[in-house]
Amino acid sequence: MSARLIDGTAIAQGIRAEVTEQVSGLRARGVVPGLAVVLVGQDPASEIYVRMKGKACLDAGMHSETVVLPAETTEEGLLAVIDRLNADPAIHGILCQLPVPPHIHAEKILFRIDPRKDVDGFHPLNVGKVVLGDPTGFRPATPYGVQQILIRSAIETRGAHVVIVGRSNLVGKPLSNMLSRPGPGGDATVTIAHSRTRDLPALCRTADILVAAMGKAEFIGVDAIQPGATVIDVGTTRVADASRPKGFRLAGDIAFEPVREVAGAITPVPGGVGPMTIAMLLVNTVQAATLAAASR
């Protein structure tokens, strides 16, 4: 029996439709949520992401601003752009597309963004608020998307054992904090595993819900899956594939074909967690605009 396929694209579309409705409600009150995306240099993958984010904003009826700066922009110059956007009342969310060129300290830029506009949720103040369950904190888009996939696919987290493989600040850490909190999409018993974990497959086999977020192509095989478990694949790695027009294919951290025969439900790559990240970015921007409007 093959696992239920979780359609992240469809879930993300549903969320984006909800966002569009919320934006229209805000516009009726004179508030147009605005997102500014800053891109330094000409990384082709970054250019695609930035374009997708801008288009998603416009589709939802939001204001979108893209600031493209040359690769030789100084740190001071970039900080000045952030300061300008921090002060701009038309902008409720700011994100700086990573990576930035090596002469710029990414942390210095990210921590300069006003925490109230930090819709990526990277600022330590937002990291802390998410741990504490403060509703004014922004949850980073990827773990937020994973939690929404679980909620909207009716996968019970309460009392479930969730094993998260990968302890990154972007995914593993915030997700473990979110899923172990009380409430819907929470109340799970959460284990965070990583490269130092002993006998990873045995640990993973104890998971009712397995989240793979290491970025190692097809690293997790069927020996790591409890029959019937839900498997969420956050990884996205380019793997050389001469049979594809672009010369590569996208692979997740899960060996998809064998695992789908054993799992109860599984997210594909692409079309699983990926589409959720832009949807959750829009959700965060609407949250920022709503909070800003309430504090006026």
Annotated active-site positions, please?
53, 97, 120
Q: Considering only the stretches 41-49, 61-69, 192-200, 250-258, report the one whose residues sit in contact with a second copy under the rule CB under 8 A.
A: 192-200
276 sits near a second copy (criterion: CB under 8 A): no
Told to check if 169 binds a second copy by CB under 8 A, we report yes
C-alpha 171/C-alpha 180 separation (Å) is 14
193 binds a second copy (CB under 8 A): yes
Please identify, among the stretches 49-57, 97-105, 175-183, 220-228, the one whose residues bind a second copy according to the rule CB under 8 A: 175-183
What are the Cα distances from residue 109, in Å, to 31, 236, 280, 283, 294?
27, 25, 22, 23, 27
The interface region with a second copy, picked from 1-9, 144-152, 177-185, 245-253 by CB under 8 A, is: 177-185
Q: With respect to a second copy, which residue has the nearer C-beta, 213 or 279? A: 213
Which tokens sit at 110?
Answer: 């990210």
Alpha carbon distance 226, 229 (integer Å): 5
- Half-sphere exposure at residue 243, Cβ-oriented, CA atoms within 13 angstroms: 1
Among 36, 190, 220, 251, binds a second copy (CB under 8 A): 190
List for the chain the helix, strand, coil content (%; round to 5). Answer: 40, 15, 40
CA–CA separation, 222 and 238 (whole Å):
21
Which residues are at the interface with a second copy (CB under 8 A)? Answer: 123-129, 131-132, 134, 137, 158-159, 161, 167, 169, 173-174, 176-177, 180-182, 187-194, 196-198, 203, 206
